[in-house]
Structure 1
Amino acid sequence: MAVWNLDPGTYWAYHEYLLANQPPEGKRWAMVDRLVRFAREAGVGPIEKLRSHVTSGRYEEAVRATAAAAQQAGVESTPILVIDGRTVSPLDAPGRTRRLLDQAASD
């Protein structure tokens, strides 16, 4: 959220960089210094203002609310799609995803 609010033009580059460089799941890695380093390496600026936004706690409530809404919707991983009220992971179930999309498009 901090990257989007401070430098929205670089958000998707940061997002892609983050996904390409994050350590394996299960490792605790999303620490401030690493997130800021990833942002710098992805071309996000201003870096010190970004660090301030991340450490200030200004996004904590929004993150908690989003996580709670995702959990309530049955979202356990990303990417995830909700098609006609059904949750599906396109990477785990590509055939089911295609069928649901085709069905939704024909309705």
Structure 2
Amino acid sequence: MPSSPPPPSAASPARKLAAIGAVIALVVAVVAIAVAVGKAVEGGRDAGRTGGPEAAASVQPQEDAAQQKMFDRLARQTTRREHGDPLAVGRQDAPVLLVEYADYQCSFCGRFTRETQPELIKKYVDAGTLRIEFRNFTLYGADSERAARASWAAGRQGRFWQLHDELYAKTRKGDALAEDELVRMARASGVTDLGRFRTDLHSAAADRAVKRDQDEGYELGVQSTPSFLINGRPVSGAQPTEVFTQAVEDAAARAAKNRAAAK
């Protein structure tokens, strides 16, 4: 899994200090919940993933009030639920929200997209339980940033997820993400106005959208991709699908319990 600190120009000193605090908070959270991975990871990890670089995941922690308060704060920080968001899939009021921070040159992000995301959509998004919101968190420089702007530009024509999946169909790096290649993939993804696509790709609005996602990740202390929050609880790396399904089930159960208690 790629790992890289933000470039010096990416944040102000105050933001860097906030990010350091967020890193500490997230590390504490992951350490506190790592013991909960247990059988979900042991039973779900196949031989091809054993010893891989994926980080520990959060599954079903026995948490105290302070931890729950922290998870709730993370959820408030990252939840957008914007109407018509082209980088989101699922009901706006779904009880469970999965936020993904990813880079298009990240092979482990591609693994999640190919192996786990279709199962989550079929089982939870289509049932109205889960909403997925994607964040462009670029780690590999200009090629990643160009791909991120391209995916946003495709979203302007309602084809974000189609280009997203095409970009992750296999690992693409460097020249494979040149502008002409991105235009070719956009065409294959159903983007009809390619002139507008090129204009949007180079627009200030695209830069702002990608920077918004990037700044959010830095402020949380995201250091590697893919990184996820499920109702504020961190899951790091391309974990087995079973880890994500367990996390979604647990989050849905907690949300139902909270709704019942509020009545």
TM-score under structure 2 normalisation?
Answer: 0.33
1:55 has 2:202 as partner? yes
Secondary structure at 2:205's aligned position in 1? coil
Instruction: Tell me the residue number matched to 1:44.
Output: 191
Provide runs of 4+ in structure 1 moved above 3 Å: 93-103
Partner Cα separation in structure 1 for residue 160 and residue 250 of structure 2: 33
Which has the larger helix fraction? Answer: 1
Any conservation in 2 of the 1:84–1:104 contact (CA below 8 Å)?
Answer: yes
1:77 has 2:225 as partner? yes
Q: What is the 5 A alignment of 1:5-16?
A: 5=156, 7-8=157-158, 10-16=159-165
Between 1 and 2, higher relative CO (CA 8 Å, sep ≥ 6) is seen in 2
Secondary structure at 1:88's aligned position in 2? strand
Partner Cα separation in structure 1 for residue 244 and residue 185 of structure 2: 32
1:100 has 2:247 as partner? yes
Partner Cα separation in structure 2 for residue 22 and residue 33 of structure 1: 17
Percent identical among aligned pairs is 25
**Paired residues, number:** 101
Which ranges in structure 2 are unaligned for 5 or more consecutive residues? 1-151, 255-263
Instruction: Tell me the residue number matched to 1:65.
Output: 212
RMSD: 2.6
Instruction: Tell me the residue number matched to 1:33.
Output: 180
Instruction: Tell me the residue number matched to 1:2.
Output: 153
Which ranges in structure 1 are unaligned for 5 or more consecutive residues? none
